């Protein structure tokens, strides 16, 4: 069906992706390959376009230019039926959780099973509890999303994302805004998922510590382009200025003349 030089161990393939919000160019010529079974971390400062890249990989927004293949299928120009079929094989945990506020946590986690399988109620309940147990949320099953803290929301979203045992898991900012202990726990959960289920995991984050512990490879976004893709060690040893700043957690030290600074403040955009 897809003779288009797709090697079977490539799960996500992005080619020459260019995207805009209105007139503003956000991503400018992104090339990215994510392999079966690896944990790929997409890093970059806040506003670098990480979530935007994720939305395009998931087919939520159409790109201005470029090609995206997910699990071997071209995402642009798919009919919605085919798109939904592909998406059943992936799991996505959004930045803010994105649980349906009209349902309990348990109902949220069970939703994909209820919609896509013919399992009976009690089986669905058992599977739901199993996943909630995995993310340490078994006692929150009957709470509404509004009653959860930020960290609990992220974990509930993770439980919902993996309920169908997806081939690929996308996780937007798993540990941002969490206390250090919850963040470490979440990292361990992600590692366990990879080991136990051989899941391909794409983690979007700007938390360095988390990336260094869990990732197999790292992609660094900046200025709408990919600055570097490489293993953790390769990134660690990089001499690129921006990457050094990101790794050493130093503020940018752009030298700017007083005159241009003033102009920037006083001029319109």
Partner 1 sequence: MSGGLEKTGHHYFSLIEAVGRMGLFLLQCLFRAATPPVKLYPVVQQIHFIGARSSWVVVTAGLFTGMVVALQFYDTLVRFGSVDLLGSAVALSLIRELGPVITALMVTGRAGSAICAEIGIMRISEQIDALECMGIDPYRFFLTPKLLAGLVAVPVLTILFDLAGLVGGWFVGVVLFGVGEGTYVQGLRGGIEWNDVAMGLVKSIVFGGLIVWFCAAKGYFLHYERAGAFGPEGVSRVTTNAVVLSSVSVLFADYLIGSLML
Ligand X SMILES: Nc1ncnc2c1ncn2[C@@H]1O[C@H](COP(=O)(O)OP(=O)(O)O)[C@@H](O)[C@H]1O
Q: Which residues bind partner 1 (CB under 8 A)?
A: 21-22, 55, 58, 60, 80, 84-88, 90, 92, 94-96, 98-102, 111-112, 115-116, 157, 160
Return the residue of 11, 17, 50, 178 that touches ligand X, per CB under 6 A: 50
How many angstroms separate the CA atoms of 19 and 56, rounded?
9
DSSP 107-172: HHHHHHHHHH----HHHHHHHHHHHHHHTT-GGGTTS-GGGS-HHHHHHHHHHHHTTT--SEEEEE
Nearest to 200 by CA among 68, 89, 52, 86: 89
Which range touches ligand X (CB under 6 A), out of 43-51, 76-84, 189-197, 252-260? Answer: 43-51
Residue nearest to Mg ion (CB): 51
Nearer to partner 1, 162 or 227 (CB): 162
Nearer to Mg ion, 31 or 51 (CB): 51
Q: Does 51 bind Mg ion (CB under 5 A)?
A: yes
| Shortest Å, Cβ 219 to ligand X | 12
CA distance readout (Å), 80 to 7, 63, 85, 86, 87: 25, 16, 9, 10, 10
Nearer to partner 1, 68 or 99 (CB): 99
Nearer to ligand X, 21 or 261 (CB): 21
| Shortest Å, Cβ 147 to ligand X | 27
How many angstroms separate the CA atoms of 71 and 200, rounded?
11
63 binds, among partner 1, Mg ion, ligand X, none (CB under 5 to 8 A by kind): none
Nearer to Mg ion, 99 or 203 (CB): 203
Q: Does 62 bind ligand X (CB under 6 A)?
A: no
Q: Does 47 bind ligand X (CB under 6 A)?
A: yes
Question: Long-range pairs for 54-62 at CB < 8 Å and ≥24 separation?
Answer: 54/170, 54/172, 54/202, 54/204, 56/14, 56/17, 56/19, 56/27, 57/12, 57/14, 57/170, 57/202, 58/87, 58/90, 58/92, 58/170, 59/83, 59/86, 59/87, 61/19
Nearer to Mg ion, 44 or 166 (CB): 44
257 binds, among partner 1, ligand X, Mg ion, none (CB under 5 to 8 A by kind): none
Residues that bind Mg ion (CB under 5 A): 51
Residues in touch with ligand X (CB under 6 A) = 21, 26, 44, 46-52
């Amino acid at each position: 069906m897809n003779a288009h030089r797709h090697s079977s161990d490539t799960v996500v393939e992005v080619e020459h992706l260019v995207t805009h919000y209105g007139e503003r160019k956000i991503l400018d010529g992104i090339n990215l390959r994510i392999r079966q079974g690896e944990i790929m971390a997409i890093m970059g400062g806040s506003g670098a376009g990480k979530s935007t890249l994720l939305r395009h990989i998931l087919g939520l927004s159409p790109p201005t230019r470029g090609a995206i293949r997910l699990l071997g299928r071209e995402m642009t120009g798919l009919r919605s039926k085919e798109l939904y079929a592909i998406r059943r094989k992936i799991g996505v945990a959004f930045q803010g959780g994105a649980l349906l506020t009209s349902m309990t946590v348990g109902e949220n986690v069970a939703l994909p099973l209820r919609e896509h399988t013919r399992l009976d109620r009690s089986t669905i309940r058992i599977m739901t509890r199993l996943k909630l147990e995995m993310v340490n949320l078994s006692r929150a099953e009957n709470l509404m999303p509004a009653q959860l803290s930020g960290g609990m929301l992220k974990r509930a979203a993770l439980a919902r994302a993996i309920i169908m045992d997806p081939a690929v898991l996308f996780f937007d900012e798993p540990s941002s805004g969490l206390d250090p202990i919850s963040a470490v726990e979440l990292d361990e959960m992600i590692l366990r998922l990879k080991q136990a289920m051989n899941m391909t995991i794409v983690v979007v984050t700007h938390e360095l510590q988390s990336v260094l512990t869990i990732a197999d490879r790292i992609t660094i976004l900046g200025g709408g382009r990919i600055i570097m893709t490489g293993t953790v060690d390769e990134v660690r040893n990089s001499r690129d200025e921006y990457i050094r700043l990101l790794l050493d957690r130093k503020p940018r030290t752009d030298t700017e003349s007083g005159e241009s600074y003033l102009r920037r403040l006083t001029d319109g955009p």
